[in-house]
Amino acid sequence: MKFLRRTARYLGIAVLAAIVGLNIWQMAARALLGQELPGLFGYSSLAVMSGSMEPAISAGDLLIIRREATYQEGEVVSFSDNGSYITHRLVGQTDGGFITQGDSNNVPDPDLIHAEQILGRVVLVIPGLGGALLFLRTPAGILLTGLFVFAAVFLAGPAGRLWERLTGSRR
């Protein structure tokens, strides 16, 4: 039981550190390298802000996207449109570009998009995690996460041993 608890604690710390690390990487790459949508190994993440793709994708979901060489009708892609990121389905293609439409929208988007605007195809949807990651990018989120990581590491180390000595119990 002690092994499982310790393993779960370290696994939780590792997952949190990975999430924080990826957020720091994205913020730094945006600020220092000028990348529009920073990513690792061809994958990037986006938080969904609207319900135009419901029920498949909802506001607050986290999307993992991957840049592809070509895109096909029926795929869900994220693209840049005047500084905004939009995620819609490719419903057609003309000589002028792609026709896109949100699943819950009644009509296609008014403007065609070009292949250069496409940031990537959606490969994974993680429900609800987008809102949490957006919070982590705010000053309050960064502070809270830093305090949580510090407390988790501190409590797993010296404070945990001190507690064991004071109480005579083993975790």
**Residue 123 token pair:** 């490969």
Of 44, 45, 52, 78, the catalytic one is 52
Neighbour order of strands in the sheet with 97-101? 43-47, 62-66, 118-126, 76-81, 84-94, 97-101
- Decide if 52 is catalytic: yes
Of 44, 61, 78, 109, the catalytic one is 109
Distance separating the N- and C-terminal Cα atoms of the chain: 9
Which residues neighbour 146 within 8 Å (Cβ) at sequence distance 6 or greater? none
- Decide if 88 is catalytic: yes
Of 44, 45, 78, 88, the catalytic one is 88
- Decide if 111 is catalytic: no
Decide if 79 contacts 117 (C-beta within 8 A): yes
- The catalytic site residues sit at 52, 88, 109
